[in-house]
Structure 1
Amino acid sequence: MTLKHSFLLVCLLLGFTQCKSPGKQEQSQLSDDALLDTVQRRTFNYFWEGAEPNSGLARERIHMDGIYPEKDQNVVTSGGSGFGIMAILAGIDRGYVTPEEGLQRMEKIVNFLETCDRFHGAYPHWWYGETGKVKPFGQKDNGGDLVETAFIMQALLAVHQYYVNGNQREQALAARIDKLWREVDWNFYRQNDKNVLYWHWSPEYAWEMDFPVRGYNECLIMYIMAAASPTHGVPSAVYHEGWAQNGEIVQPHKVEGIELNLRYQGTEAGPLFWAQYSFLGLNPTGLKDEYCTDYFNEMRNLTLVNRAYCVRNPKHYKGFGPDCWGLTASYSVNGYAAHSPNERDDLGVISPTAALSSIVYTPEQSLQVMRHLYEMGDKVFGPYGFYDAFSETDNWYPQRYLAIDQGPIAVMIENYRTGLLWKLFMSHPDVKNGLAKLGFSIGNK
């Protein structure tokens, strides 16, 4: 059986009615809104149809070729599930599933999150979906992962706001979410009250991974959540001294002729997930603090740097250009890599999530990429949306997905269309308090 036949069979088994490759006439006639809905709906199904059945959460990866490392097809991911919860919430609101089906799925997810392994209230990177027991991400990474916990809590607070004023059953779900939120001991992850947050803690290896988190990267949301907690909220000094390093995070510079004002850890301009993960719920529009006068503009410029580098294409890769750009962490020709806009980290691999999840910052440019990829057909577009990555130079088109890359696509498309996830998350009283505590303000754009 060919890969194409396997793909069609999967579509039939999953009940998809629009899994056939788009014809040229269909491609040219599809409106932007129809294209957005097609991509959002298909990507939503990664988290709906493709979910691990016991937990209702997102599988770490789904390989349409059926080949998995270490037979991990039932391993679920906390951060990717956080993104997926938000994608599901948008799907419920759009009517992709019924309100009853959506509520049942959210109840299943919360049931799992109440009973699975936690470490001082924080979730690990991975669990075994059937049991809720931690699956080590690495030998010493077998306990709490505070960054992934922040991603899942960002999602749960949005769900809380969606249901908190609903019927009795919906309010009960919101109350259970509030309890999970209050049980995360963010202060514990300061490692003996230091003014910085640590990424990991292990019941076996304690703090041996020794990873204090400093900015700027994808972890801004962790510091905001830690400050916002009504039960274990960290003092503002943790943000200012740890994340911002007493102002050293500010480092005005230009890349590809575009101004950036923050210091990006280890590089002049990082992979695009740095502009996305923290802002799935946190609305960057008009957001500012003493280190950045406009987070939306900063993240937009980071996206434009990424695009400009790909258009310039200094390594002369096949296919790179205005309609095919986007470097971020994803599968790569040899394993996994954090592709970035510099010659060291540019491996000729395009990751669709990079440009598509940037649609809130660069709508015209991101839609151009989306339409181009859609017109490439089933080489890059499958039952759960665009596959994770490809390289035209290497003629490499794996039919594989990663949850942490699929989730931001669906979430940011919804934020571009309606702002739903931004509105929900930003409306939570604890989030408002946390932002104020750290000196953030929200202006008008």
Structure 2
Amino acid sequence: MKNFLAISILSITALVSCQNVQSAKSSKANSASINLSDNQLMDKVQSDALRYFWDFAEPHSFLGRERYHEDDIYPDNDKHVVTTGGSGFGLMTILVGVDRKFIPRKEAVKRLTHIADFLEKADRFHGAWPHWINGETGKVVPFGKKDNGGDLVETAFLVQGIICVREYFKNGNEEEKQLAAKMDKLWKGVEWNWYTKGGQKVLYWHWSPTYAWEMNFPLEGYNECLITYVMAASSPDYSIDYDTYNKGWTRNGTYTTDRTKYGLPLFVKHNYAEEFGGPLFWSQYSYLGLDPRDLSDKYVKSYWDLNRNHVLIDYKYCLENPYKFKGYSDKYWGLTAGYTRNKDGSVGYAAHQPMKEDFGVITPTAALSSMPYTPKESLAFLRFLYTEKQNFIGQAGPYDATSINYNDWFTPRYLAIDQGTITPMIENYRTGLLWNLFMNAPEIRTGLKKIGFKSAKHHID
């Protein structure tokens, strides 16, 4: 009992100390940030979020750690658990860091080469990596009892980043060309069509060497998983056909809808969230590389409008604020999956979204990673955060979960999958860097054309 009490006191002391230090830093940073231009603020948040994948990366593999908690009294907590999807976002974050000269190009090439070598030796299951990997050993860390094998969706998020790295360095010096070649080999080794479970016309999320297909999760739209079908269609050696996309992802075209919200068409039936469109990461994860501008297919006339409307519906919902949470406004909004505040004040996890899971908690990545779709609204959030709510910002940028409603509550914690979308999506708004890299890959253009996508901007018709 005494030991437990001592640990509890230490935890409280550490948290209070962290918050006091943060408060002191905030008052100084507030005056420094208040006169920054929009471009300077975007530089600031992009370089801050980069630190998660540069300064706080897992120390052996250099991949993105699943989580990082500033309030941990034990610094080794989850230190070596890396996440494949979040690491894919981290690869793109590092590219932005190089392009904006936040980090030295040569050092980035060395680190990315190390990452490629680690991924080559890490556990793979018919080419797909698991959701979690031990950064020291390269062995799978089970995400759940039966989730101890290949995770095709996380692999797709990772490969989206791998393709961008290949494209960025493929015409560079000899060391950079070698890096590009390593990345090329990695992505071409994923056996996408094997995940059709014996030739069914749908992709499956998981396969385990112990439990085989028992997870039984077919990938059907619409949610964050579109990129998985794009990657599978684009594979030179393990490709899927049009019918797998059409019958699997679009449910034979039955996933479309005429429903609107706030006068805005939703276009597709967002899984289990048909009224509002679900958490905002659905408009972000597949679109760090996949360019929604001028993108269409047989069922969706404009992926840009689909994503922009999704974000605007979330924004308008926060302004409507049906639960009357304190703080929601045109400069403090955005609901997506991440850490949350439980009723007892402890930290939990929730897929924050309008009505269904709205607990008065705003996740900064929601608005910040929506910058391409809603620049005015997202910039207002960014400025509010960095000039009026510095206590919501830590060592690696905005914390994962915040709430003005609960007396400026925040959790001094980060998740790779949330922090990793901030820098790339803001860069896509600013220059289109990741969109142009990904869409420049010849296999991607071929794959998109195969499953019926069009984009005049990227010569896909």
CA distance in 1, matches of 2:74, 2:282: 27
Answer yes or no: is 1:28 the counterpart of 2:37. Answer: no
Partner of 2:441: 428
Most deviating of 119-128 and 372-381: 372-381
The one-letter code of the counterpart of 1:231 is D
Q: Displacement of 1:256 after TM fit?
A: 2.8
Partner of 1:298: 306
CA distance in 1, matches of 2:310, 2:427: 21
SS at match of 1:390: strand
CA contact (8 A) 1:228 1:435 kept: yes
CA distance in 2, matches of 1:21, 1:182: 50
The one-letter code of the counterpart of 2:337 is A
1:101 to 103, 107, 127: 107
Partner of 2:357: 345
Partner of 2:376: 364
Q: Displacement of 1:74 after TM fit?
A: 1.9
SS at match of 1:416: helix
The one-letter code of the counterpart of 2:129 is Y
Q: Residues 54-133 of structure 1 correspond to what in structure 2 (within 5 A)? A: 54-67=60-73, 71-133=77-139
Partner of 1:226: 232
Q: Residues 164-175 of structure 1 correspond to what in structure 2 (within 5 A)? A: 164-175=170-181
Partner of 1:217: 223
SS at match of 2:333: coil
Q: Residues 258-297 of structure 1 correspond to what in structure 2 (within 5 A)? A: 258-268=264-274, 269-297=277-305
CA contact (8 A) 1:339 1:346 kept: yes
Q: Displacement of 1:393 after TM fit?
A: 2.1
Q: Displacement of 1:377 after TM fit?
A: 3.8
The one-letter code of the counterpart of 2:180 is A
CA contact (8 A) 2:29 2:390 kept: no
Q: Which stretches in structure 2 are left out of the alignment for 5+ residues?
A: 1-12, 343-347
CA contact (8 A) 1:247 1:291 kept: yes
CA contact (8 A) 1:22 1:375 kept: no
Q: Displacement of 1:26 after TM fit?
A: 2.9
CA contact (8 A) 2:30 2:386 kept: no
2:450 to 434, 437, 444: 437
CA distance in 1, matches of 2:167, 2:19: 38
SS at match of 1:337: strand
> Alpha-carbon deviations, 1:321-377, whole Å to 9, x = none?
1111100000011311101112x2111110000010000000000000111111234
CA distance in 2, matches of 1:168, 1:379: 45
Cα distance, 1:242–1:21 mapped onto 2, change above 3 Å: farther
Q: Displacement of 1:378 after TM fit?
A: 3.6
Cα distance, 1:444–1:180 mapped onto 2, change above 3 Å: closer
CA distance in 1, matches of 2:425, 2:451: 25
1:401 to 394, 409, 414: 414
The one-letter code of the counterpart of 2:388 is M
CA contact (8 A) 1:22 1:377 kept: no
CA contact (8 A) 1:51 1:58 kept: yes
Q: Displacement of 1:162 after TM fit?
A: 0.8
2:394 to 382, 389, 395: 382
Q: Displacement of 1:58 after TM fit?
A: 0.5
The one-letter code of the counterpart of 1:197 is L
Partner of 2:6: none
Partner of 1:187: 193
> Alpha-carbon deviations, 1:162-186, whole Å to 9, x = none?
1111122211111111111111000
CA distance in 1, matches of 2:258, 2:307: 14
CA contact (8 A) 1:288 1:442 kept: yes
CA distance in 1, matches of 2:196, 2:427: 34
Q: Alignment identity in percent?
A: 52
CA distance in 2, matches of 1:188, 1:68: 41
Q: Which stretches in structure 1 are left out of the alignment for 5+ residues?
A: 11-18
SS at match of 2:125: coil
Answer yes or no: is 1:139 the counterpart of 2:145. Answer: yes
CA contact (8 A) 2:361 2:401 kept: yes
Partner of 2:246: 240
Q: TM-score, normalised by structure 2?
A: 0.91
CA contact (8 A) 2:14 2:73 kept: no
Q: Displacement of 1:215 after TM fit?
A: 0.5
1:206 to 207, 212, 219: 212
CA contact (8 A) 2:30 2:388 kept: no
1:314 to 315, 319, 322: 322
CA contact (8 A) 2:128 2:155 kept: yes
Partner of 2:336: 328
> Alpha-carbon deviations, 1:389-427, whole Å to 9, x = none?
112223321111001000100111111111111111110
When the two structures are aligned, how many residues end up with a matched partner?
437
Answer yes or no: is 1:373 the counterpart of 2:381. Answer: no
CA distance in 2, matches of 1:408, 1:401: 12
Most deviating of 36-45 and 246-255: 246-255
SS at match of 2:139: coil
Partner of 1:13: none
The one-letter code of the counterpart of 1:345 is E
Partner of 1:355: 367
CA distance in 1, matches of 2:315, 2:30: 26
Q: TM-score, normalised by structure 1?
A: 0.95
CA distance in 2, matches of 1:52, 1:214: 33
CA contact (8 A) 1:353 1:388 kept: yes
Answer yes or no: is 1:413 the counterpart of 2:426. Answer: yes
Cα distance, 1:132–1:8 mapped onto 2, change above 3 Å: farther
> Alpha-carbon deviations, 1:88-126, whole Å to 9, x = none?
011011111111101011011101100111100001000
